Amino acid sequence: GDPAATPILLIMGLNSQLIAWDEGFCRQLAAAGNGHYVIRFDNRDIGHSTHFTEAGVPDLQAMIGLAMAGKPLTAPYLLADMAADAAGLLDALQIDKAHVVGASMGGAIGQEMAIRHPERMLSFTSIMSTTGERGLPPPTPEAMAILFTPPPGGTLDAYLPHYAKVWRVLRGPSSFPEDEARDAERGTAVFERGLNPAGSARQLAAIFASGSRKKALGGVKVPTLVIHGDADPLVPVECGVDVAESIPGARLLRIPRMGHALPVSMWPEIVGAIAAHAAAHPGR
């Protein structure tokens, strides 16, 4: 997009590089409405961003045990630190305020931005995310298993079937042939940019240790749109409903058949909703 246009900052989810925001999706968003300057980036511990290797690999199973016992958790960093990264990126780009769009863990990072850095946000769109509140419906067993299955090391040939299986599960029960046909191309791009399983574990530890944002979200004044798929196997739609109910004035868009992914066939609806939300809140 045009750097002089209204900026939209895209924040991606767990173990997902900036290329998880598909270039075609970004081009549609850049062209929508009066035009936008679309910014995507690698979160810490993924892709070409800083890897916190010296922090080691957290014991996720032990963290789950502590969480179930109601005990406090520690992690190398928290989602609040990742929200500060996003605000810092705006500083580096000399952008005062942006429309912020976060998907999955990126939605949780966006929530932390809305809590801690609201002055940097024109609006917020939370996609397939959660407040982190305990008691919400869990992932399906198959999606939970995917979350804790590290990618096979070594070769691209070993990685691609794993990548395809992950997205077959996350897209949910509906078939999306256009996306399935692109899995090899997308998986190759992810592999060639660089995998960081230890970084993914640290990101997951940040999610666990950050806890619930539900109470703090009650004070958020950033205009918020929540988008969630009715068929999400990883973050069930009830989690999106909870986000919308927790943020005053938030609107909820539920999309039938959509799982924990952004299928090509649904880009027009999702892009249109984001662009309309941004247009309704040009300045604060």
| 232 is annotated as an active-site residue | yes
Nearest to 52 by CA among 193, 151, 198: 198
Asked if 277 is an active-site residue, the reply is no
Catalytic residue at 129?
Answer: no
Q: How far apart are CA 271 and CA 99, in angstroms?
A: 13
Question: How crowded is residue 175: how many other Cβ atoms within 10 Å of its Cβ?
Answer: 12
Of 36, 117, 260, 277, the active-site residue reads 260
Residue tagged active-site, from 104, 123, 126, 210: 104
8 A C-beta contact, residue 217 and residue 111: yes
The catalytic residue among 45, 183, 232, 242 is 232
Could you give the residue numbers annotated as active site? 104, 232, 260
